[in-house]
A and B are shown apart, each in its own frame.
Chain A
């Protein structure tokens, strides 16, 4: 027996009369169950995800095998080879080769492909993250301004919405050119990747502003009256009521914004010619498609993984910050 405490616990048994001890035991049990539930959930989610990926790969391979079997080059079948892609290795590289590509060393390189993709993903992630953070700040600033001054809300909101209809591909090169020529007002030297970040900012600030506004306005009137009854000032009310109440709304926006900022960074790289990230990689592989189609597929997979990664990070931060789901001001 290592200590008396364990002995005491065992000695009390289930039918103890001491309510404190009983409550303690119940609490311990509940905590244990909670931990077990969390593990079970993570395992189940992971298994589901892997099974889903397997199904997808199976579908892809099955369709390819079907197309090959009926020889979609000979017949012009109504669907296979016309609406759906042809199934030869150029149009649909085998799954095995796509994944095999990750471990191969491309000509003229001294690293395996997955390492190259990883480095480029980091580059894109940096662009996206910088833009995301700036977009978060700008979005919240707009949400606060809109929440504070009703008149601004009516005046500014149409422009915020209109801003999202400008095609990204058009503005990306403009921003890079401006960045090279004009952005010397900043205390640091303007880098091309920062221009790409602006695109990520552009995609982030909008959902943050719209959802942030809804969240900041979500407290019920009596919650506001309570703060007024304490003579709480604007900052105190913001910090203790409006911001916490807005968090569930905000995180819903951040999940969209995180993946959108990755897409924005990739599109920005492609249309602006910024070197070093996944967007540039995808463009290059598209040019070299005829000699290595599996590499394009692999690089696109890399982009998808990056998108999932940032989504999971935001979800994790939400768990930490908000704790349990749907916490709001109760009635």
Chain B
């Protein structure tokens, strides 16, 4: 059973109107459970749109999207996935803990269980000291970590992330990448991750999906296979070869 199965999906925004946009053309993509997939491609090629299709926040114009062998809509209703957006999107009237508890509240968890899980998640993203703070009191990177903790709080089998580290400085970014890989390994979650950074894509994923400019299609997929990552990986010649491979593929689609 595939974690994600997309067949012939297209997306046209505002069809028939003067502002019609053909965002995605004929996407076919299958993702196996436990994979870490990154989507990379020129700005406006439809990466966020594809992620929203998987999340069933929008529906495809044609074609089908299946998550965990059921329609994406059903997967959303079953809360099969957690999502982290490009902006952290925390609610500032809630404390850090209460933000992480939000999905658990909606799922009817008891107060004690929510507290316990939020504490665990804060431990995971190393923010235990800030449980009672409000988001506006945190740095951008810390907010992003809270958002990731919130997305992981109910142990979804699928994690959808749209440039979650885009706003972070290089050091924090690399640290967060290692954190994310650790969490991914510990939880066995399937991840679909959108990024603009080639090294980030190569460092994180088992497979890099390169998309063409609008209307977005999948130009190529590149298996990475670098094994367990560590600080040494970033200096590994094999790592650089993969970076070059992805860059070449991106150059080709931009022509």
Contacts and interface: CB of A to CB of B under 8 A. Distances in A.
A223 B89 CA distance: 6
A230 B106 contact: yes
B214 to A, nearest CB: 20
Given A225-B57, A229-B83, A328-B92, A240 B102 contact: yes
Contact of A330 (B57, B81, B86, B135): B135
A330 B85 contact: no
Contacts of A324: 134
Contacts of A223: 89, 91
B55 interface: yes
A222 B129 contact: no
B106 A226 contact: no
A221 to B, nearest CB: 10
Interface string A213-247: 00000001011011011111000100011001101
Chain A, interface size: which category? 20 to 34
Instruction: Classify the interface of chain B: helix, strand, loop or mixed.
Output: mixed
A330 B83 contact: no
A327 B91 CA distance: 9
A236 B106 contact: yes
Which residue of A226, A244, A327, A328 has the most chain B CB atoms within 10 A of its CB atom? A226
B88 interface: yes
Interface in B82-128: 82-83, 85-93, 102-103, 105-107
Contacts of A229: 55, 57, 76, 81-83
Interface residues of B, number: 29
B149 to A, nearest CB: 14
A322 B85 contact: no
Given A240-B105, A327-B136, A228 B91 contact: no
Given A232-B106, A329-B91, A329-B92, A226 B83 contact: yes
Contact of B85 (A23, A226, A230, A240): A226
B77 interface: yes
A69 interface: no
A327 B102 contact: no
Interface in A172-230: 220, 222-223, 225-226, 228-230
B143 interface: yes
A226 B94 CA distance: 15
Residue in A241, A247, A329, A331 whose Cβ sees the most chain B Cβ within 10 Å: A331
B79 interface: yes
B102 A330 contact: no
A241 B76 contact: no
Contacts of B87: 220, 222, 331
Interface string A289-331: 0000000000000000000000000000000001110011111
Contacts of B78: 231
A331 B89 contact: yes
B89 A220 contact: yes
Contacts of B90: 329-330
B77 A231 contact: yes
Given A229-B76, A230-B79, A241 B89 contact: no
A327 B93 contact: yes
A330 B136 contact: yes
A158 B198 CA distance: 53
A306 B233 CA distance: 71
A230 B103 contact: yes
B194 to A, nearest CB: 14
A330 B86 CA distance: 12
A106 B89 CA distance: 63
A244 B89 contact: no
Nearest to B89: A222
A230 B91 CA distance: 15
A244 B82 CA distance: 23
Interface string B176-207: 00000000000000000000000000000000
A7 B77 CA distance: 57
Contacts of B93: 244-245, 247, 322-323, 327-328
A167 to B, nearest CB: 40
Contacts of B52: 225
Nearest to B55: A229
A180 B189 CA distance: 69
Interface string A261-294: 0000000000000000000000000000000000
A328 B87 CA distance: 14
Contact of B92 (A231, A232, A240, A330): A330
Nearest to B73: A231
A23 B52 CA distance: 42
Given A324-B134, A327-B136, 17 more contacts: A23-B129, A222-B87, A225-B52, A225-B83, A226-B83, A226-B85, A226-B89, A229-B82, A230-B102, A240-B91, A247-B93, A328-B92, A329-B90, A329-B91, A330-B89, A331-B87, A331-B88
6 contacts: A223-B91, A230-B107, A245-B91, A323-B93, A329-B89, A330-B90
Interface of B: 52, 55, 57, 76-79, 81-83, 85-93, 102-103, 105-107, 129, 134-136, 143
In order of increasing CB-CB distance, the 7 nearest A-B pairs are A331-B87, A229-B83, A330-B92, A327-B93, A222-B85, A244-B93, A327-B92
